[in-house]
Amino acid sequence: MKSNYFNNVVNSEYSRKNDGHIEYGTAGFRTKSDILEHVLYRMGLLAVLRSKAKKAAIGLMITASHNLEPDNGIKLIDSAGEMLEVSWEMIATNLANTLDSDLISMLVHISTKENIDLSVPATVIIGRDTRKSSPILLKAALAGIKALNGHVIDLGLVTTPQLHYIVVCTNTDGAYGDPTLQGYYSKLAAVFKSIRGTEINNGKYISELQLDAANGVGAIAAREFQRYLKDVLDIKLFNDGSGDLNHMCGADYVKVQQTLPLNIPSEKSVRYVSIDGDADRVVYFYIDGNNKFHLLDGDRIATLVAAYFKELLETSGLSLQLGLVQTAYANGGSTDYISNILKVPVACVPTGVKHLHKKALEFDIGVYFEANGHGTVIFKNTTKEAIKNQIKNEMLSTTQRVASSKLRDVIDLINETVGDALSDMLLVETILHAKGWNVIEWEKSYNDLPNKQLKVRVKDRNIITTTNAERHCLTPVCLQEEIDKIVLKYSRGRAFVRPSGTEDIVRVYAECESSSDVNKLAMEVASLVYRLADGVGPEPSLS
């Protein structure tokens, strides 16, 4: 009887103490940390079942990414290092909200419906970020895993991308890399040094940067890279864990507020980088001679990367399909540049890495980045084989062979499993070095449209529903019609609203040709949402 297998799962220490509904969203479960213990326990149970179902190791990451310290969360990482399969998101949600009295029957239902062989051994690789609540939640997750006799590999403090990386390395018997943190650092550092060669600086490129680590777990990883790369890249580290996590620092803060993070000295034309709390987002920025702030976000990174790969493909003589995937948050200036100048196919999908990742898989080389700086590049196995075979082609010119070899090498610099802020940073540094560009030259490739993001607190964020990759609002009725009327008043105006996948808010995005008008456009749309979607608290403002 399957029910006998689950006899020991009821644990009074981790009974459900909160009646509120919690949902596995874009980034897993994420909410106030003090109501998550029973969820973590149950996700430990579920991770064991998922491991048995896949007959492979599964990852479990405790983090709330760019959220502030009071929050925490958990996400499951599937066997290929990707986000959890969509069908299992609902399973996770149902299990998290099941009554204690129904816990065993729910587990029996899951194992039966998914045809899980309970005799198969299970391995769960677990990691956590630096939040004060993470050790408590780790204990709960471990209790769940051990209740079903799962084997645990506890990595301790790791970035989210590092856990994704180690999961896929474990399940490919090391073919993707050594399944250890040392293996992660060694692989990326070795490739970075190899591609760069002996020339540390090149043209206007100077091999030093200032890194804002959001006072998160990424600071630990950044220190390791300081050690591994000290001879080729000078990384000056700020917000290194001595301050409050994500407070007025980190990639999300810099992207949304478009200003310098706390504690970073303002120096002219210096290349700054910000990552977020769990190191899966990255943005660049600088201050010009007139003290103006310049942001180079995920759109800029995507266009830089796509242009680099297009150039290598054309030079190598390889005929492979390169594509770029964006969300509605992508700046209109970047989309115009990609489509009309680079002539690279562009696809738009709903917000959330799982949507971008899935679409990117359709291309031979799929580049995807959200504007917030979360993204990577994916290569089909056939693409990797084609590149290797091209290098062996004796008819190649020296130029073609060099370009093909660079393509092969740069693949190993990229964490294909998920957006990895530090891997992406090293990729950007590699491209800037190859082009001999400083951050100012990089920005010259195209002009962004002025844009603004605002948050509106409402009684129920789910009152907002969208379609067309979240660019068109379905409900409340008449909201989209009114947004369209507002947008028409502004040259090259565009705006959309969507419920947040991680917070109890509605997000507003606006862009237009005039920097003096973009704040007006954003405020008009935000005020409209506040009125038509039952806003709570103070009306939205630009502060």
- Of 258, 274, 296, the position where a domain reaches its end is 296
Instruction: Please report whether residue 125 resides in a domain.
Output: yes
Instruction: Please report whether residue 118 resides in a domain.
Output: yes
Catalytic residue among 51, 65, 79, 527: 65
Residue 325 backbone dihedrals phi, psi, to 5 degrees:
-115, 130
Q: CA 304, CA 301: separation in Å to the nearest integer? A: 5
Which run of H or of E encompasses 531?
Answer: helix 515-532
pLDDT value of position 536: 82
Averages of pLDDT over runs of 10 residues in the chain (543 residues) are 83 91 89 95 98 98 93 96 94 97 96 96 97 97 97 98 97 93 97 93 96 97 96 96 95 93 92 96 96 95 97 96 95 93 94 90 96 95 95 91 95 94 98 97 94 91 92 94 96 94 86 94 95 82 65
Instruction: Please report whether residue 238 resides in a domain.
Output: yes
pLDDT value of position 534: 83
259 and 156 together in one domain: no
11 and 150 together in one domain: yes
CA distance from start to end of the chain: 60
> How deeply is 26 buried, as exposed, middle or buried, from its count of CB atoms within 10 A (0-12, 13-18, 19+)?
middle
- Of 131, 159, 177, the position where a domain reaches its end is 177
417 and 309 together in one domain: yes
The answer to the question of whether 96 is labelled as a binding residue is no
400 and 468 together in one domain: no
Domain residue limits at 457: 451-532
Instruction: Please report whether residue 79 resides in a domain.
Output: yes
200 and 246 together in one domain: yes
Cβ-proximal residues to 337 (8 Å cutoff; 6+ apart), any chain: 303, 445, 446
> For residue 537, which amino acid is it?
G
57 and 156 together in one domain: yes
Instruction: Please report whether residue 543 resides in a domain.
Output: no
The answer to the question of whether 65 is labelled as a binding residue is yes
Cβ-proximal residues to 155 (8 Å cutoff; 6+ apart), any chain: 125, 126, 127, 162, 163, 166, 181
260 and 316 together in one domain: no
Instruction: Please report whether residue 45 resides in a domain.
Output: yes
Rounded to an integer, what is the distance from CA 56 to the centroid of its chain? 24
289 and 367 together in one domain: no
Query: SS3 of 498, please?
Result: strand
The answer to the question of whether 500 is labelled as a binding residue is yes
- Of 384, 409, 443, the position where a domain reaches its end is 443
Q: CA 512, CA 47: separation in Å to the nearest integer? A: 45
Instruction: Please report whether residue 537 resides in a domain.
Output: no
> For residue 214, which amino acid is it?
A
For position 412, which CATH number holds?
3.40.120.10
62 and 159 together in one domain: yes
Whether 65 is catalytic is yes
Instruction: Please report whether residue 94 resides in a domain.
Output: yes
How many domains, the chain?
4
Q: pTM for the whole thing? A: 0.91
pLDDT value of position 237: 97
The answer to the question of whether 265 is labelled as a binding residue is no
Residue 472 backbone dihedrals phi, psi, to 5 degrees:
-130, 130
The answer to the question of whether 276 is labelled as a binding residue is yes
16 and 103 together in one domain: yes
* HEC sequence for 287-326: ECCCCCEEEECHHHHHHHHHHHHHHHHHHHCCCCCEEEEE
For position 493, which CATH number holds?
3.30.310.50
pLDDT value of position 538: 78
Query: SS3 of 59, please?
Result: strand
How many Cα neighbours within 13 Å face the side chain of 204?
11
The answer to the question of whether 372 is labelled as a binding residue is yes
The answer to the question of whether 50 is labelled as a binding residue is no
198 and 275 together in one domain: yes
Share of the chain above pLDDT 90, in %: 88
Please check whether residue 456 is in contact with residue 529, taking contact to mean a CB–CB distance below 8 angstroms.
yes
376 and 472 together in one domain: no
CA 490-491-496 angle, 5° bins = 60
Cβ-proximal residues to 508 (8 Å cutoff; 6+ apart), any chain: 453, 454, 455, 456, 495, 496, 497, 522, 525, 526, 529, 540
* HEC sequence for 151-184: EEEEEEECCHHHHHHHHHHHHCCCCCCCCCHHHH
